[in-house]
Structure 1
Amino acid sequence: MVTRHGEAVAVRPLTLAWVRRHLEAGERIVGAVALQGGATADMRRLAIGTRDGGTRHLVLRSFVGPTRQGPADGLLHREADALSTLACTGVPAPRLVAVDPTAAYCEYPSLLMTHLSGRTVVDDEGLETRLPLLARQLVAVHAVRSADRPRAYVALTTADTVVTPRDADAAVWAAAIDVIREPAPRYEGRFLHRDFQPGNVLFDLPPEDSAGAVGARITGVVDWAAASWGPADLDVAHCSTNLALLHGPAWGLRFIKAYQEAGGKLAAAVDERLYWQVREPLAFSEEVQSVAQPWREAGRTELTTRAVEERLDAYVTSLMNALG
């Protein structure tokens, strides 16, 4: 089920009872609204009435169906572990309150966490200023050190599953696909978000600056269910591809540069950087429609499936020209 952002919703009885057990003495649930989510995860912001008459908020994430990333219990275990690790760092992530990964108490596998202020921004306006903020934040994520490493990254595509867009330059795409036929290069492992992109970063924007230029700051990084261990290049490539599709291919290349200017380290050899950078857009080729839909729902109505396919083709071509 997909619910509209901000719509009042009900919480199922077993889940409601589970949440109540994790509130502080004298607190009660006074409201719930839907947050923007996907087809398999219900996201709800819960208003909690406190003993002193105030209100605080928690976020409830419940997996109601299968996911491309694997079983819900594995995703929730990884998210819970990541949030526990990040609690001791300067990365602005939610704090874990409780998790029920196997639906032992709730109707569906669920996780309860603190609510962070701010909102996602996918507008073109203000990107010039937001881009270095995103880059510096990702460098900070990759600087996290954990005694217990998350699982190794999982590749999201293979050379045989890539879908070449209609009217794309077949020779360029064939060359890009050949790049990922080769064995993965050796890499220095880092703590990865694995879905770091504008839709998972919250900004605080001054009232006079609705698009986030002057005075914008990051207040949170959310959705840690895919946290992994792997090359920093993968997170950079994922965010770069999102930026290229949202704002145009040049912005994808600019993010790679911004990450390095912020102190981030990528693979030393050009062919190794190309392997990681091209792997992510090739993975996007398999799910262009599902990628574009949330952006249109967020107001970017011009980003039709066809428009996103064209930007994807242009970005792959840009990468092959720049690094190939």
Structure 2
Amino acid sequence: MSSTSNNSALPLSEATMQWLLQQAGTGSAIEQVNALKGGVSSAVYGIQGMKQGKTFEYVLRQFTDREWLAHEPDLAEHEAEALIRAYEANVPSPQWIAGDFAGQSCEFPSVLMTRLEGEAILQPQELQGWIEGLAGSLAGLHQADTPPMRWNYFTYNNITALQIPDWTSSPEAWGKIIKRVQGDTPIYTPRFIHRDYHPTNVLWKNGKVSGIVDWVNSCYGPAGIDTGHCRVNLVQLHGVEIADAFLEAYLNSPGSAEEVADCYWDMLSLTDFLCGPPEVYQGWIDLGFTGLSTQIIKERIDEYAESLAAKL
């Protein structure tokens, strides 16, 4: 086996390259390695090579965030199992190939998977079709027949310790939201969820969703966390009206979970964003989405909080 590169600044270590060649198999050659944009919590590379006269394309994800690994040392294993479940359930997702779960060969815990065709679209030319595609793909995921995982949903913040953010111009709305999420949890059916479903993690080709990526947070839990998380992202990108249109499209899609209509899940998902003051997500900037500012994000999130509080 041999390794060559068209990239003058190869970002991977020689040990990682050798591991990649082992996974590709005898007679393979790595021809190009490119760092991929869009992710902020790990290093992601596009791998292109040849084997027996045929081209192959992989994606290698390396978990380089030591702080994240300290809290969740099984990140690579977690994503591998999620990928396997998603692929076996016919959810449009990458196919898992191999993993270096402890980082013994690749320096960092790593997951190797197939590369899907398509691109993330944040500013669609045809907005309604984009909304319906996002919603329908998520509903399809939620009806996937998969066994329970050993990773189960948990909130990112301590719900009992939530406080009204000091940056808000709508403290009354936030107070109502916090009080509600600190109350009883609605009844729901646990199911396979993505846990980080938003436009940056959805790929499109020829006007249709071609795949869902970034499965490391996937778990067994309430479907409303997926819709709620996506809605907060849509609020920041495009405003409350688009987020509301997404929810309506989801509820009208085959396989949707009816319990997501309870605004509790939107409120709970919104409190996930209280880890710090609002800011423009770097992944959006990397993918070419411009025009947002911290002030715009604050105003849109406050407007969303007010719309949710009005439902109580």
Q: TM-score, normalised by structure 2?
A: 0.90
Structure 1 residues 155-181: Cα deviation after superposition (integer angstroms, max 9, x where no partner): 122253456263521111111111111
- The aligned amino acid for 1:172 is A
- Distance across 1 between alignment mates of 2:190 and 2:77: 21
Instruction: Provide closer, same or farther for how the CA distance between residues 242 and 20 of structure 1 changes in structure 2, counting only shifts above 3 A.
Output: same
Q: Specify the alignment match of 2:285 in structure 1.
A: 296
Q: Is the 8 A contact 1:162 1:282 kept in 2?
A: no
User: Where in structure 2 are the equivalents of 1:18-37 lying within 5 Å?
Assistant: 18-37=19-38
Q: Specify the alignment match of 1:194 in structure 2.
A: 195
- Distance across 1 between alignment mates of 2:253 and 2:190: 19
What is the CA distance between 1:287 and its match in structure 2? 4.3
- Distance across 2 between alignment mates of 1:7 and 1:282: 44
Q: Specify the alignment match of 2:3 in structure 1.
A: none
| Secondary structure at the counterpart of residue 74 of structure 2 | helix
Q: Is the 8 A contact 2:57 2:114 kept in 1?
A: yes
Instruction: Provide closer, same or farther for how the CA distance between residues 21 and 120 of structure 1 changes in structure 2, counting only shifts above 3 A.
Output: same
| Secondary structure at the counterpart of residue 111 of structure 2 | strand
Q: Is the 8 A contact 2:99 2:111 kept in 1?
A: yes
Q: Specify the alignment match of 1:265 in structure 2.
A: 257
What is the CA distance between 1:294 and its match in structure 2? 2.1
Q: Specify the alignment match of 1:44 in structure 2.
A: 45
Q: Specify the alignment match of 2:87 in structure 1.
A: 87
- Distance across 2 between alignment mates of 1:7 and 1:178: 55
| 1:243 maps onto 2:230 in alignment | no
Structure 1 residues 100-139: Cα deviation after superposition (integer angstroms, max 9, x where no partner): 1111221111010000000001115322111111111111
| Secondary structure at the counterpart of residue 258 of structure 2 | coil
- Distance across 1 between alignment mates of 2:17 and 2:146: 33
- Distance across 2 between alignment mates of 1:167 and 1:149: 37
Q: Specify the alignment match of 1:112 in structure 2.
A: 112
Q: Is the 8 A contact 1:165 1:285 kept in 2?
A: no
Structure 1 residues 256-309: Cα deviation after superposition (integer angstroms, max 9, x where no partner): 1111100312328x7xx1221111122123345565232223222211122111
Instruction: Provide closer, same or farther for how the CA distance between residues 172 and 225 of structure 1 changes in structure 2, counting only shifts above 3 A.
Output: same
- Distance across 2 between alignment mates of 1:10 and 1:130: 34
| Secondary structure at the counterpart of residue 267 of structure 1 | helix
- Distance across 1 between alignment mates of 2:21 and 2:114: 14
Instruction: Provide closer, same or farther for how the CA distance between residues 231 and 7 of structure 1 changes in structure 2, counting only shifts above 3 A.
Output: farther
- Distance across 1 between alignment mates of 2:139 and 2:36: 27
Structure 1 residues 173-204: Cα deviation after superposition (integer angstroms, max 9, x where no partner): 11111111113233211110001110000001
Q: Indicate the larger mover: 62-71 or 238-247.
A: 62-71
Q: Is the 8 A contact 1:142 1:191 kept in 2?
A: yes
- Distance across 1 between alignment mates of 2:228 and 2:35: 30
Q: TM-score, normalised by structure 1?
A: 0.87
Instruction: Provide closer, same or farther for how the CA distance between residues 289 and 314 of structure 1 changes in structure 2, counting only shifts above 3 A.
Output: closer
- The aligned amino acid for 1:320 is A
| 1:179 maps onto 2:180 in alignment | yes
Q: Specify the alignment match of 1:56 in structure 2.
A: 56
Q: Indicate the larger mover: 168-177 or 142-151.
A: 142-151
What is the CA distance between 1:237 and its match in structure 2? 0.6
Instruction: Provide closer, same or farther for how the CA distance between residues 150 and 129 of structure 1 changes in structure 2, counting only shifts above 3 A.
Output: farther
Q: Specify the alignment match of 1:314 in structure 2.
A: 303
Q: Indicate the larger mover: 301-310 or 241-250.
A: 301-310
Q: Where in structure 2 are there 5+ consecutive unaligned residues?
A: 1-6
Q: Is the 8 A contact 2:37 2:286 kept in 1?
A: no
Instruction: Provide closer, same or farther for how the CA distance between residues 310 and 88 of structure 1 changes in structure 2, counting only shifts above 3 A.
Output: same
Q: Specify the alignment match of 1:143 in structure 2.
A: 143
- The aligned amino acid for 1:134 is L
| Secondary structure at the counterpart of residue 87 of structure 1 | helix
Structure 1 residues 53-81: Cα deviation after superposition (integer angstroms, max 9, x where no partner): x4221000001123558645422212111
| Secondary structure at the counterpart of residue 28 of structure 1 | strand
Q: Is the 8 A contact 1:180 1:279 kept in 2?
A: yes
User: Where in structure 2 are the equivalents of 1:210-221 lying within 5 Å?
Assistant: 216-221=207-212
- Distance across 2 between alignment mates of 1:125 and 1:179: 37
Aligned residues: 304
Q: Indicate the larger mover: 72-81 or 224-233.
A: 72-81
Instruction: Provide closer, same or farther for how the CA distance between residues 129 and 284 of structure 1 changes in structure 2, counting only shifts above 3 A.
Output: same
